[in-house]
Structure 1
Amino acid sequence: MSDTDRPTMSTAPHMYIHYCEETGCNEWGSWGNSQSAAAPTRWWCFEHFPHKTYEQEQVLRRRLEAAGVDVQ
């Protein structure tokens, strides 16, 4: 479908604002996950996202160590 085939927007698009669900974290929740289409999506920042792969976790650990953050 071409952009020229679409009707003109009559209102501004809706902005979705979601922050990390971790208590006390005010980071943008760019990583979402939902168990099904009927369940609402839950959002986390990358640091708190519970579904990271092993490789993603290692990259995060190296970045935190390079920044001088104590990694447990």
Structure 2
Amino acid sequence: MSDTDKPALTMAPKMYVHYCEHEGCEMWGGFGRSASKDEPPHWWCWEHFPHKSHEQEQALIRQRLEAIQRESGAK
């Protein structure tokens, strides 16, 4: 199929804005999950995403500790 065979785009695509569903968090929710097509997805930021592997969780903890050490060393 070539580009000339495709119908013209009549409406602009909709932009969906997802924020983290964790209470009090206002970060972008770039990680969504839904159990089925019938259920609407839930969205989280990476910090609050509940479906991380153990290794991913440990890497996040290391990043937090390094940030704390940088902040305490800069004072």
TM-score (norm 2): 0.80
SS at match of 1:43: strand
Equivalent-residue separation in structure 2 for 1:51 and 1:31 (angstroms): 10
Does residue 49 of structure 2 align to residue 42 of structure 1? no
- Deviation digits for residues 15-68 of structure 1 (CA, Å, limit 9, x no counterpart): 011100001100000111111111110000000011100111011111111111
SS at match of 1:65: helix
Find the structure with the greater CA-based Rg: 2
Counterpart residue number, 1:11: 11
Q: Counting helix residues as a fraction of each chain, which structure ranks higher?
A: 2
> Which of structure 1's runs of 4+ aligned residues deviate more than 2 A?
5-8
> Which amino acid in structure 2 is aligned with residue 50 of structure 1?
P
1:29-68 correspondence runs (5 A)? 29-68=29-68
Structure 1: 5+ residue runs without aligned partners?
none
Number of residues of Structure 1 aligned to a counterpart in Structure 2: 68
Equivalent-residue separation in structure 2 for 1:6 and 1:62 (angstroms): 49
Structure 2: 5+ residue runs without aligned partners?
70-75
SS at match of 2:68: coil
What fraction of aligned residue pairs are identical, expressed as a percent? 53
